[in-house]
């Protein structure tokens, strides 16, 4: 497919943060000889400033588009992509509203589009039940 691709593969990165996965996607596309366009979306004003500076500093204006807003309410109905990346798992698996944010994003994917990650599982495991029991006994 390299060399014959006329339309870009549209990679959407929802919850783009400071952009590390944008750089990875661009690097992977370069290594594969693929033509991509990246759409980065984030609601954090600090992340938007960082992403805007990255786009300018690295000369990515023709490759990366930036949207400021919450993916649950941003008006991007005309947006369609081939790959949707997100790392909205947070430090506890759902503290960044991962299920609530990612479920409605299916409308942005072209038929046959790919989610990255495709799936994940949350679980809680005690570090040590003995330590917790001893602390309860000491303070009881």
Q: Is 7 a catalytic residue?
A: no
Which of the residues 7, 58, 61, 96 is marked catalytic?
A: 96
* Partners of 11 in beta bridges: 38, 83
Nearest to 41, CA basis, from 95, 107, 85, 94: 85
Which of the residues 7, 58, 61, 87 is marked catalytic?
A: 87
**Sheet (strand 109-116) strand order:** 64-68, 36-42, 9-14, 81-85, 109-116
Q: Is 96 a catalytic residue?
A: yes
Query: Are the CB atoms for 92 and 125 separated by under 8 Å?
Result: no
- Catalytic sites, residue numbers: 87, 96
């Amino acid at each position: 497919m390299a060399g014959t691709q006329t339309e870009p593969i549209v990679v959407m990165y929802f919850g783009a943060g400071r952009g590390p996965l944008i750089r990875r996607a661009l690097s992977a596309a370069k290594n594969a000889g693929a033509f991509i366009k990246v759409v980065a979306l984030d609601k954090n004003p600090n992340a938007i400033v960082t992403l805007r500076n990255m786009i300018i500093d690295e000369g990515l204006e023709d490759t990366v588009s930036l949207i400021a807003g919450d993916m649950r309410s941003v008006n991007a109905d005309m947006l369609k992509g081939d790959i949707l990346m997100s790392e909205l798992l947070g430090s506890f698996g759902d503290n960044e509203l991962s299920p609530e944010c990612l479920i409605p994003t299916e409308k942005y994917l072209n038929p046959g589009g790919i989610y990255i990650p495709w799936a994940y599982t949350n679980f809680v495991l005690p570090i040590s039940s003995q330590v917790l029991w001893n602390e309860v006994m000491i303070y009881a």
